[in-house]
Amino acid sequence: MSKRLDNRKKYTRNVLKKSIISLLQEKPISSITVKEICEKADINRSTFYTHYSDHLDLLNKIENEVTEEMDAYLNSYSYEVEEEAIQITEKILEYINDNKLILRTLLNSNSSLHFEQKMMTLTRRYMLNNWMKESNVEEEKSKFLSTFVISGAIHVIKDWIDNDMDQTPGEMALMINSFVNYGFSYLED
């Protein structure tokens, strides 16, 4: 009986997740109501409130789920060598490619800015713990440098998503890492 309840919970949460993602493709989160989500999911409101406090709670849980999956990717690799940095960037881009609908939606202007901020925080922690600690850059400068690099990478990835991922994750990983490591000199090659 317990397994059956778990499967029903999973089904309900999955259909609610798909419903809000679908609605976010059409309009901003501030215009979405629990009623609309429930109608799209064919779930009654009391069932919705059994799982989430409101539509923002549902969105936050989705963002946290994606962030945790990305964190697991980042923590499963070593990043000391440039080739490994390219490989982890490629893995992240493959994850984005495999989950393009949800990530395109979470990074678009209809969603909240919280997801992009969560991605920045996650990536900053990864950069500061793995790359910055080996350099002689003081902590204050490394914070600004990581913000600069991560913001640029996120916007390059958003452009890549908006262009229907017209380049492979490997090509994009090489490009992003080249921008980070070589800046404008990369364009001169």
Domain ranges of the chain: 2-52, 57-188
Eight-state DSSP code of residue 189: -
Helices (H), the chain: 2-24, 34-41, 45-51, 55-75, 82-98, 100-107, 114-130, 139-162, 169-182, 185-188
Q: Which residues contact 61 (CB under 8 A, 6 or more apart)?
A: 52
Per-residue pLDDT at 112: 75
Pick the CATH number of 57-188 from 2.60.40, 3.30.420, 1.10.12, 1.10.357: 1.10.357
Question: Among all chains, which residue has been given the structure tokens 């958003």?
Answer: 158
Q: How many CB atoms lie within 10 A of CB 91?
A: 17
Superfamily (CATH) of domain 2-52:
Homeodomain-like (1.10.10.60)
Q: Which residue did the predictor score with more confidence, 34 or 94? A: 34
Tell me the pLDDT tens digit for each residue of 54-91.
Answer: 999 999 999 999 999 888 877 776 655 556 777 778 88
Residue 127 in this model has a pLDDT that exceeds 70 = no
